Amino acid sequence: MEHSESAADAWIAPHFDELAVLDLSAARVTAVDRGRYLVRSGSAEVPAELTGKLLHLAESSVDLPCVGDWVGVRYRDGGTQASIHTVLPRRSFLRRKTAGRDIGFQMIAANIDSAFIVMSCHFDFSIPRLERYLVMVHDGHIEPVVLLTKTDLVSPQALETLIGQIRQVGVAAQIVCVSSVSGEGVEQVRSLMAAGKTYCLLGSSGVGKTTLINRLLGDGHLETGEVSHTGEGRHTTTRRHLIALAHGALLIDMPGMRELGLLGAGEGIEDTFADIRRWAGQCRFPDCTHDSEPGCAVRAAIQRGDITEAHWRNYLKLRKESEFHDLSLAERRDKDRAFGRFMHSYRKQKGRPGRG
């Protein structure tokens, strides 16, 4: 793993020399589970913990390691344990808004070359959900590939209709159709995974991610649950884990995510909805709101059917959501800074000698 990753991730090589000066070794985070870590260098995977200094210097959880991160470690106990001292710069990332009402980022994985967005042709197929995943992937500078699974549950004509719906909203990413029953499409997925590169599977629970990984591994390594009456498989993936495949590619399996809140994803939204951006560039007025202005190319495209109304509404929804959370985060940071200034002034006043 060490040599193949170093070849693929030449961008990170200069940092290895910096670690050597500090008497640290480079390792890759392969799993994170409630504050516990696994790291791997070469073929050895060992448990690791964060140093107190790293925890102290981290301004938020974003600064802490996630699956796929390169980190600087120091081994101990004969190489059976490791301490994580630093997190190396990330080339790409997957992140989302923290679940619930909290406003902040949650890192999902890092240093990914390509993301396979997995959707079932049966119960799970959803264009708005696909667009949301694409925003997340584009935001993190990762190349997307769309995988349509459980193709055996639909007719060839229905499958072509689903592919047409994806193309209709301007998705140019490669689409691969996979059947877990016949194995059709699995070799095509494998051929897209180059040795030393890192990939991930994104999708709802039960769309066939674990079954696909089992076929890629070839040994039934991961467990899957029974399929429910809705056609939804109940798999047992409960944590993100970086897996090394036999031909040298690396794959991150991760549980289905119920919440995919967007924060700071303006660039990802514009890249995902590039067709709308192109039409907007043809509007008569540069500040067109695409509402009732004359010469609006976007409204004209919707009326002609070049842009579907649902595609347009989802664009507005995702942009509004991201902007709302961005504003909430900015307001929170302003409050934190104001409180910090208040506390600094209070301590300064308290430390002055009294008058008398």
Domain carrying residue 57: 2-87
Could you tell me if residue 49 is inside a domain?
yes
Could you tell me if residue 98 is inside a domain?
yes
Q: Answer yes or no: do 35 and 72 share one domain.
A: yes
Identify the domain boundary among 64, 87, 110.
87
Q: What is the CATH number of the domain that holds 159?
A: 3.40.50.300
Q: Answer yes or no: do 41 and 112 share one domain.
A: no
The count of domains in the chain is 2
What's residue 70's pLDDT?
Answer: 95
Identify the domain boundary among 56, 87, 118.
87
Could you tell me if residue 197 is inside a domain?
yes
What's residue 269's pLDDT?
Answer: 85
Identify the domain boundary among 236, 253, 270.
253
Could you tell me if residue 202 is inside a domain?
yes
Q: What share of the chain is helix, strand, coil (3-state, %, to 5)?
A: 40, 25, 35
Q: Answer yes or no: do 72 and 100 share one domain.
A: no
Could you tell me if residue 100 is inside a domain?
yes
Q: Answer yes or no: do 118 and 218 share one domain.
A: yes
What's residue 206's pLDDT?
Answer: 78
> Among residues 119, 71, 87, 111, which one has the least CA distance to residue 199?
111
Q: Answer yes or no: do 70 and 109 share one domain.
A: no
Structure tokens at 300: 């004209």
Could you tell me if residue 143 is inside a domain?
yes
CA distance 197 to 150: 26
Residue 295 · residue 285 · CB < 8 Å: yes
CA distance 337 to 173: 42
Q: Answer yes or no: do 229 and 194 share one domain.
A: yes
Average pLDDT, 10 consecutive residues per value, the chain (356 residues): 48 84 93 90 88 91 93 92 95 79 78 95 88 92 95 93 94 92 90 94 84 79 39 50 90 73 73 89 88 87 90 87 72 55 55 54
What's residue 110's pLDDT?
Answer: 96
Q: What does the pLDDT look like over 232-276, one tens digit per residue?
A: 443 444 578 899 898 889 999 877 665 566 656 678 888 888 898
Q: Residue 146 phi/psi, 5° resolution?
A: -95, 125
Q: What is the CATH number of the domain that holds 15?
A: 2.40.50.140
